[in-house]
Amino acid sequence: MTDNTDSPTTSEFDRRSFILMAGAAGTAMVPLTARAAGTPAEAAAAPDASAPVNVTLRVNGASQSISIDPRTTLLDALREHIGLTGSKKGCDHGQCGACTVLIDGRRVVSCLTLALAAEGQQILTIEGLAKNGKLHPMQQAFIDQDAFQCGYCTPGQIVSAVACVTEGHANSDDNIREYMSGNICRCAAYPNIVAAVKQAAPAILSDQQKG
């Protein structure tokens, strides 16, 4: 009879060998993993996404040169860097229209537009509508028709309403409601807003035809 007490069986030897080999293999994996993640020096050399960049925006006919984080929205650039606080931040998610401005005549929600993407284009905000101390016809119509209560949505409503007219969508109450539906009014001044758009439309279309 053979005594195997002091010497490993073939199966024990194999198990120990496997564990040792696996351990060695695991150790060998460490530098490979570290290499995949990059050395500290490589990580330090990665570009800083928030490094300021210079941008010149054309707002209400004037050039505005600012230095901003490239991730800055047009709304924040207007409000925080240029000082035009007429455009409002309601939802900051593109859902309420309070931040509406025109870029080359087209409505955009400035909270979802990067300021850098607007460079070289004509930006029109609520502050750019009045001329020579005279209110824009749409501003006057909102006053005449009592088309606001708290007023928070109003700058976005007015800018959007101007585009609604110039786009040719102010030809019926239903169309006005449809094409103004991106602008939410918590005070529910909707009937008065429709009345204001109808009041201002002829004057705006007349100016548009004159060029």
DSSP conformational letter for 130: -
Strand order across the beta sheet in which 106-109 lies: 62-68, 53-59, 122-124, 100-103, 106-109
* CB 179 to ligand FES: min, Å: 16
* CB 87 to ligand FES: min, Å: 8
**Residue 96 or 197 having the CB closest to ligand FES:** 96
* CB 74 to ligand FES: min, Å: 10
**Residue 129 or 153 having the CB closest to ligand FES:** 153
**Residue 75 or 201 having the CB closest to ligand FES:** 75
**Residue 108 or 171 having the CB closest to ligand FES:** 108
* CB 181 to ligand FES: min, Å: 13
The one-letter amino acid at 74: L
Q: Can you list the alpha helix ranges (DSSP code H) found in the chain?
A: 10-37, 40-44, 74-76, 137-144, 154-166, 173-179, 190-210
* CB 40 to ligand FES: min, Å: 40
Residues that bind ligand FES (CB under 6 A): 89-92, 94-99, 109, 111, 148-154, 185-187, 189
The one-letter amino acid at 29: M
**Residue 111 or 118 having the CB closest to ligand FES:** 111
* CB 142 to ligand FES: min, Å: 10
**Residue 149 or 205 having the CB closest to ligand FES:** 149
Contacts of 64-72 with C-beta under 8 Å, sequence gap 24+, read: 66/115, 68/115, 70/114, 70/116, 71/114, 72/114, 72/115, 72/116
Rounded CA-CA distance 40/143 in Å is 61
DSSP conformational letter for 70: T
Bridge pairing between strands 122-124 and 53-59 = parallel
